Each structure stands twice: as structure tokens, then as C-alpha cells.
A and B are shown apart, each in its own frame.
Chain A
Amino acid sequence: MTAPMDVPSSAPEAQPGAVLTGAGGSIQGRSLRQIAWLRLKRDRVAMAGGVVVAVLVLAALAAGVLDKLFGLIPTTAFNQDLIDPDLQIPKGAFGGISLAHPLGIEPTSGRDLLARIFAGSWISLLIAFLATMLSVVIGTLMGVVAGYFGGWVDTLISRLMDVFLAFPLLVFALALAGVVPDNAFGLSGDVLRIALLIFIIGFFNWPYIGRIIRGQTLSLREREFVDAAKSLGARQPYILFRELLPNLAAPILVYSTLLIPTNILFEAALSFLGVGVRPPTPTWGGMLSDAAHYYQIDPEFMLVPGLAIFVTVLAFNLFGDGLRDALDPRAR
């Protein structure tokens, strides 16, 4: 029923229609969501990022379905005939690029790189998305509660944020991923590793968004419509979730699109360090790690997952930046 993305909370007096003039057409009744969309459309870089993000997400979804449900992606076809038996690297130039294998094949195993990048995409994105969601949910909840109630609640949550931010996350991740057995919490195999990565990446990152949301809530709670709602007898949950939260949608959205690429990188780093999803399940970070052994004799192998990560992270960042500019009237 609400339009949570209508206005960024940073617009001090939300007066839709009053922000943009000169774009032609009638201003009357144009919501800030439309204004933001107009701005976004004119931002070519952000739009390009958005298109790449959309393609990547669709591809990852498709890959997840094709790979997991139908086993259609030939990630386990070992093309030994294409591997140089002496050097263990692909025959032919540029890592064995051919029509059948447009991105080449892996050294030694001879598996198709495109297939593995494709199959790895959904794991990378899934972990990044869910970890981001976890951070955003915890961060938003903590931030809103701290900002709205203030006092000792705020002090407690703020100190908790400090503790989390001071946490040596990478070390902890390495240790935790090392000690968790192959079967735990009723999960096993890839599912367990994915859940573990989501937890590690998501659970410790919430203070960043928590701080942003706390600050926004601090100023929002002084807005008159909060007093007005109270004067009519509104209950706390209504004020928190129906009055304040819609105003926080914009910063939450922007922060999420900017957190996803960070999490993709983090997941790749963990996989690279060998505590991510285990082989033979392909992940971009894991492939990069494999490629490290060959970089002198077969650099193309390293280039492929490296570029995949780079393009994805860049696209998300460009899109997120554009979104922030579009939603924030002051960012000009």
C-alpha cells in the first residue's frame, strides 16, 4: 500500500513534484519515485551498470536452475584431449579458446571455463545477496531501535556496533570455516558452506548500515508527523515500521546495492583462501585460487574469473552510485 521508494529520507521536506522543474510536461502529481527514475534514466553510466547487473542476475538465476535442477551445464566434462599432456596446459593459443570453448578450458582438468564461470555466478551472487540481506535486516532493525529509543538502548547498541566493527573478521572467518565439520546444523556439503559464508559475511557487516540507519532515524523521529501520529494514539510498532521505515527505504536500497559488490569480493576472497564452497563446485574466488598456480604458463585462466568479478563489482557500484544520486536531491 505504501510506496517505500518514493522519497529518500534525506529530503528534509518531502514535497513531491517540487523538486524537478524544466523537464517538460506537467509537474503536478509526479511522485519522487518518478523523479528519481527520470534522473536515473539520464545517468548513462548508472543505467549501463544497471543493465549489466540485470543481465548478470538473470544469467545467475538461469545458471542456478540449469545447473542445480537439470545438471545441464557441462562443468564436469574433462576434455583431456585438449590438454597438452606434457605441460598440462590447454592446447592452442589463449588458454585453448575455440568455438566449442569460447573462454578456453582449465589447465590439467580440461573443464570448460565458460561453463564454470556460468555455474559459479549463481553461488557468488546468491551468497552476496543473502549476506547483504542479513546485514541490512539486522542493521536496519538495530539502527531504527537505537535511533528511535535513544538513551541506554542507543548506548548499548552503539557499543555493540563498535565491538563488531573492531572484530578481526577475516581471521575469524578463516578459523570458523576451518573448524565447522562437514555436517553441522542439519546441513551438509555445499548447502552448509553457503550458509556458513552467508552467516560470516552477513552477520558481521550489519554495523555499517546500522550506523547509517541510526543517524537517519535520529533526525526522522523529530519530524512532526511522528508527533502527529502519536497524538492520535499510534503504537510504537506502527511508528517504527509504518512511519519511519518507508522513509528509510532509499538509504537502505542504496546501501544494499553498494554492499553487494563488497560481499562478492569478500566471498571471492574467502573462496580464494580455501574456506569457501569446496571443489568441485565452481566459484569465482575458487577458480582464481586454482589459476594462481598457473598464472605464468596460462594467464588466460586467471583473467577469466578475475574479469568476471571485476565486471560484476563495477556494475553494482556504478548502479548503486547512480541510484544514490537519483534518490538524493542534494547530490548534485
Chain B
Amino acid sequence: MTFLDVRDLRVHFPTDDGLVRSVDGLSYRLERGKTLGIVGESGSGKSVSSLAVLGLHKRARISGEIWLDGEELVGADEEHVRGLRGKKMAMIFQDPLSAMHPYYTVGQQIVEAYRIHHRVSKAVARKHAIEMLDRVGIPQPNSRVDDYPHQFSGGMRQRAMIAMALSCDPELLIADEPTTALDVTVQAQILDLIRDLQREFGSAVVIITHDLGVVAELADDILVMYGGRCVENGPSTEIFDNPQHPYTWGLLGSMPRLDRERSERLMPIKGTPPSLINVPSGCAFHPRCAYAELVGGACGYEVPQLREVGGGHQVACHLSQEQRHRVWHTEIEPNL
């Protein structure tokens, strides 16, 4: 049985300007001990879809199914889902400074997180907090445990945030852009940490990012999101070696690489992310897509469905397999 099984998830926000379709028919599966990378531009619905898994939306219309360890979460009893949070599933937030309470010490916050699910004394929980801080690589955890979040550096704060999220051994860990706020070396350290902890705890991990590079080594599978939908997904190796969607090509092309000058980047994606209130008809990517002419008109009015292209690899694009291969091998790959 699949550990996390998201089926046709839709998260819509009614607003004064209209219905915001932040997530519109997203499906994915994730097994224990595996890592899924969700990649997409800002506003593609990555955070919204993850918050939906945790059941943290207040004013959203949610439909579809979210099965966690055989349990349906959409429409489940609110108090029951609360009990799952922290213990069964937890989240690392993008900006630990705003995700931690400014008036409590790091230790107090881990203690509280631990005591939600464990009936232990504060002293015992404090020991656990120090242990967790040590585990995520914070030096002198015995004294740092009494520091306030603002007294930590960015990287240390992210480590503390991870310690907090992991304090109750969650089986599913969602990391929402865990490294965006950090500089490159610290980024690598944090990603290593997440990988190590995942091996140690055997949890299922979802890593959300707008940078394919972040998940290149970490993720077993990758899901590319655009305008609230999945446009391509598959095993990590497939996505990097044999990407099939023009948007994924764009992401690969705009990926920062150490061995190249910035100016040499092949193709930054032109245009701006789509409106989620008036989503472009047909393929949501068509206003920005350089290959829509190859298809003829269909891109503008017919929504491409996800289709299997072999090896657990799915793509939603009207280009024929032959066209995609040709473009990738002749135009894109040689220039990456």
C-alpha cells in the first residue's frame, strides 16, 4: 500500500477577485523511505498543496483524496487530523525565523512540540530537545537550547526548525523550500542533514523547491508543477536525463550551474507565471511555450492530459513523443 497517495487534489480559494485555483487536479504517490521533489516556479501551488496534506487550510475549498498510510485525510475529523500532525506528518517551513515564535526559546518550542504527543515532564522533554539539537548538528546544544530564535544564525535556525519538526519522529516530512533563505554552502549542509535524518528515521520526505538543483541528488522522484497542475513527473534520473516537457526544459536551462557563467544559461523561461484566477485555456503553459507552433492549435484550447511515456515517467504535453525527442536531443540537451 502506498504510504502517501494524493489523488486529483484541488485547492481553490474563493476571493473577491474570483476563484483562485491554486491546485487543480494534482496526483502523486510516495513510499516510506523515499523522497519526492516538487518543483515549480513561485505561485505554482507547491506550498498550498502541501499545506492541504497537513490539513492547514482555513478558507479553502478542497476536493480530491489524500490517503496517508491507508487513511483518507480529506474530510476527516479535524481533531483526529490534528493528532496526526507532528507525529505522523510534519513540515519544515521556508523561513524559520517567522515560523518560530519570537518570545520562546528554541528549547521551549521543541519541548512544547514534543509534549504535544508525549506525556512527559518538562525536564525529560528538555533532555530530548537538547538531544535533537545535537542530532541536527547544533554546537553546544546544552547552552544553545536556551537561546531565542533571533540569536541563531540562518542555518542554525533552519537546523532548529528541522529538530522541531522531527521531535516526534514523523513518518512523513514535508520540507517547504528548506534552503531558499540560506547561502549555498549552508544549503548543501542542510540538504545533507535532511538526507541523513531520512535514512535514520526512514521517513517519507517531500522536498519543495523552485530549483531543480536542490533535489538533483536528494529526490528519488520529481514532480514538476505548473499553474497548479503536474506537467511532468517520474524518477529523478528520467527527469534529468530524459525530460519531456518544455517547461521542465526551461527549468533545466535556468538551473544555476557551477561550471558555467550565468550569461551562458540556455533559456530562462520567458514571460510570467499564469494567473490562477483566469488560468490560460488549454495548456496553461502555452502563452510562454516556444514549441506550441509544432503542435498546431491544440495547445490553446485542449488541456493536455498526463500520459505515461515509459519507466514510470508521465508528461502532459501535446507534442508527439517523436517531436519531444527530437527537440530535446537536438536543441536542448547539447546546449545545457
Interface of A with B (CB < 8 Å)?
A: 1-4, 6-7, 13-18, 28-29, 150, 223-225, 227-235, 238, 242-243, 246-247
Contacts and interface: CB of A to CB of B under 8 A. Distances in A.
B117 interface: yes
Nearest to A16: B150
A112 B291 CA distance: 98
6 contacts: A15-B102, A225-B101, A227-B99, A232-B90, A232-B168, A235-B82
Nearest to A3: B103
Given A16-B148, A233-B117, 8 more contacts: A224-B95, A229-B101, A230-B85, A232-B165, A233-B86, A235-B116, A242-B112, A246-B103
Interface of B: 51, 54, 56, 58, 82-87, 90-91, 93, 95, 97-104, 108, 112-113, 116-117, 148, 150-151, 161, 164-165, 167-168
Contacts of A238: 112, 116
Interface SS of A by simple majority: loop
Contacts of A235: 82, 116
Contact of B164 (A2, A7, A15, A232): A232
B16 to A, nearest CB: 16
B164 A225 contact: no
B82 A233 contact: yes
Contacts of B150: 15-18
A6 B103 contact: yes
Nearest to A149: B58
Nearest to A238: B112
B83 A231 contact: no
Nearest to A223: B98
A88 to B, nearest CB: 61
Given A29-B151, A227-B56, A238-B112, A233 B85 contact: yes
Question: Shortest 5 CB-CB distances between A and B: which pairs?
Answer: A233-B86, A233-B85, A232-B86, A228-B99, A14-B102
Given A16-B148, A17-B150, A223-B98, A4 B93 contact: no
B205 to A, nearest CB: 15
A16 B82 contact: no
Contacts of B151: 28-29
B85 to A, nearest CB: 4
A110 to B, nearest CB: 57
A84 B101 CA distance: 69
B96 to A, nearest CB: 9
A233 B56 contact: no
B56 A4 contact: no
A303 B164 CA distance: 63
